[in-house]
Amino acid sequence: MAAGYGQVSSIALDPIEKKPLYMFHPGTRVLSIGGFGCNLTCPFCQNFEISQYKDGRGKSLTPEEIVDLAVQTISDGNIGVAYTYNEPLIGYEFLRDCAALVRGEGLCNVVVTNGFVNKEPLENVLPLIDAMNIDLKGFTDGFYRGIGGNPETVKETITLSSKRCHVEVTTLVIPDENEDDVIDIAKWLASVDPEIPLHLTRFFPRYRYGDKSPTPGETIIKLCDEARKYLKHVFAGNM
């Protein structure tokens, strides 16, 4: 069994828009569960308390217990389970086991991921996934080297997943870091499918970037306007 299997750091019944998924069953809720750890090391991580923590201190839940909670909250507007908060695909086995049971109950599976995953495990789990929000954090090799990944793997994840389930993409816009990448991201997404929604969200000082300034709201508005020249659905987040 994989290390950390079933360790849950956080669990909440969230609005689906919080994932963020704006065009997948809007107005509903989803049971959100998180584990520990991540396969990237972003110094600007907005959720570093659990994503950069290596050993779990949360409760241990079985896939059956997760599904029982999901079923119990249907009357509260729940449509399924979202694997989120940390990087869920590093706990691939647990996600896979939960997702199969969730699908068996006729509920939805949602994955919120950085997209930095090998093709084989991704394709193994995609038949069980109904929606994904995938971070495309930048568009250059240099940017991704700084966080321990590469953009091509993430782009492949977006391309493959968009053919199998509903996909929305998020870019956290960081001043003096990746602002210039946003238009390239929009152009590339449009080449995959101009209907893919793009969320441009504001950076706030966190983790190792605690001394940086937040992204100005007007920067997000301007970049959204530019991105809409290529994509049909562009949203400004954290405004």
Tell me if 158 sits within 8 A of 190, measured CB to CB: no
Other C-beta atoms lying within 10 Å of the C-beta of residue 239: 11
Structure confidence by residue, pLDDT tens digits, 38-91: 999 999 998 887 776 655 567 899 999 999 999 999 999 999 999 999 999 999
Within-domain flag for 158: yes
Residue with tokens 């499918």: 193
Within-domain flag for 138: yes
For residue 238, what pLDDT is reported?
83
Q: Which domain holds residue 151?
A: 7-237
Within-domain flag for 117: yes
Within-domain flag for 129: yes
Within-domain flag for 150: yes
Within-domain flag for 160: yes
Tell me if 88 sits within 8 A of 117, measured CB to CB: no
Within-domain flag for 204: yes
Q: What is the β-pairing status of strands 78-83 and 29-34?
A: parallel
Number of domains, the chain: 1
Within-domain flag for 1: no
Rounded CA-CA distance 150/209 in Å is 21
How much of the chain, in percent, has pLDDT values that exceed 90?
Answer: 87
Say whether pLDDT at 3 is over 80: no
pTM attached to this predicted model: 0.96
Structure confidence by residue, pLDDT tens digits, 175-185: 999 999 999 99
Give residue 164's Cα distance to chain centre: 16
What CATH code is carried by the domain that includes residue 32?
A: 3.20.20.70
